Amino acid sequence: MIRCISCDAKYDDDEIIYTCKECGSILEVIQTPSVSKEVFSNRKNTMWKYKEFLPVNSDKRVSLEEGATPFCKCDKIGKELGVDLYVKVEGSNPTGSFKDRGMSVGVTKAMELGVNMVGCASTGNTSASLAAYAARAGLKCIVLLPSGKVALGKLAQAMFHGAKVLGINGNFDEALETVTQLALDGELYLLNSINPYRLEGQKTIGFEIVDDLGWQSPDRIILPVGNAGNISAIWKGIKEFNQAGFIDDIPMMTGIQAVNAAPIANAIKQGKTEVTPVKDPDTIATAIRIGAPVSSTKAMRAIQESNGTAETVTDDEILDAQKYLARTEGIGVEPASAASIAGLKKLVENGEIDKNERVVCIVTGHLLKDPNTAIEACTQPTEIDSDAEAIKKILKTL
Ligand code: AN7
């Protein structure tokens, strides 16, 4: 069943609907699985091992075996910051971001509904993922991207998997408005995170964190926030495992935004309950260059109900954290993902995170998504003859 998060209106599973007909608010999927956690342990390790919690027919799933991503204990950074740190590496999903979890469920739902055209607006990763899953399902796919503001790897993926790619003169928020209009006009099935089935897939990040920790909740989960779907999804997953009795505690949900694209963090910092959109959002972390997050109501609830918080970070802090994670722990992530590490550092320095907290930082996309930013952040290779003696001289300087 689909339910409005504001007025509780209910809708059937086979209705194509994105916002409440009564009040215009966003929707969520509800189901009440009754299963013991022991059933998960003997299954193949993908996100579909939690299939009882996924509201589609798993026998007919459109899947690239997403999920079951690395959960790396990061003792070097953890020690430096005085926390017990784990990093959940979502760049290890099939197309290199967490979006694959959402698309697997979302495109499976599209097949159940019998649509033939899917679409989205995207800062990049959503389009890369949708293009791949649409290809696997044999669906037509159109993606609207803010022209010139999508990282190269993501653009390559969307085009190569065969989506029709449109570069929009405008930002992500404008592209989303247009593609939503196309969906409401019945032209395509919308697979942005306003589609509640997307979030059903992404809530498995929360499931896996709990499972990875031996059926315990961490003290805190920190992640980058753009359109605010993922923080909402993970919180939903955590609550479902809590309600199922699999965990007693819950983590403080902590969202990080780029300082010039921070409507949610601004609201939290100012103690407001309403989120005011940011007009011209900007950041080097193009994935989270979003001013009017569609799931802001869900995200605000996640932060408030979990006693969490939100913080802003500058582009320089993002780039420093990206390099720090890559060079200290060997984990390569795209700039938006590094916001979680930059946010952790800032919250520790501000004294908002207690010493010895068990913290999980979610890094949402792979380093190779944005090769240009990575290359620009480095000294370029030294040109030299293939001569051992000459190279020995360089080795001495290292
Ligand atoms: C790497 O692809 O919105 O808060 O259109 O690609 O759930 O939006 C991407 C978002 C974080 C923010 N990290 O997640 C898109 C898009 C990465 C991302 C986010 C995105 P949400």
Express each pLDDT in 114-139 by its tens digit. 999 999 999 999 999 999 999 999 99
Ligand 1, atom nearest to 228 Cα: 4
pLDDT tens-place string over residues 145-170: 999 999 999 999 999 999 999 999 99
Helix (H, G, I), strand (E, B) or coil at 315: helix
Q: Residue 144 is encoded by which pair of tokens?
A: 């609207």
CA of 336 to the centre of ligand 1 (A): 8
CA of 249 to the centre of ligand 1 (A): 27
Residue 262 CB partners (closer than 8 Å, separation 6+): 278, 310, 312
**Percent over 70 (pLDDT), the chain:** 100
| pLDDT at residue 32 in the model | 85
Strand duo 71-73 + 84-89: pairing: antiparallel
Confidence of residue 315 (pLDDT cuts 50, 70, 90): very high
Interhelix angle 125-137/152-160, rounded to 10 degrees, is 20
pLDDT tens-place string over residues 50-90: 999 999 999 999 999 999 999 999 999 999 999 999 999 99
pLDDT tens-place string over residues 259-270: 999 999 999 999
CA of 390 to the centre of ligand 1 (A): 45
Kindly report the average pLDDT of the chain as a whole number.
98
Q: What is the mean pLDDT of residues 207-226?
A: 98
Smallest CA separation from ligand 1 atom 5, residue = 122
C-alpha dihedral (75, 76, 81, 85), degrees to nearest 10: -30
Q: Residue 31 is encoded by which pair of tokens?
A: 């189901």
CA of 42 to the centre of ligand 1 (A): 32
Strand duo 27-29 + 2-4: pairing: antiparallel
Please give the full DSSP string across 345-397, using - where no structure is assigned. HHHHHTT-S-TT-EEEEEE-BBGGG-HHHHHHTSPPPPP--S-HHHHHHHHHH
pLDDT at 199 over 90: yes
Residue 94 CB partners (closer than 8 Å, separation 6+): 64, 65, 66, 100, 132
**Percent over 90 (pLDDT), the chain:** 99
Pocket of ligand 1 (CB under 6 A): 97, 122-126, 193, 224-230, 287-288, 334, 336-337, 364-365
φ/ψ of 141, rounded to 5, equals -145, 130
pLDDT at 365 over 90: yes
pLDDT at 286 over 90: yes
Residue 58: other Cβ atoms inside 10 A:
15
φ/ψ of 180, rounded to 5, equals -65, -40
Q: What is the mean pLDDT of residues 24-43?
A: 95
| pLDDT at residue 151 in the model | 98
| pLDDT at residue 351 in the model | 97
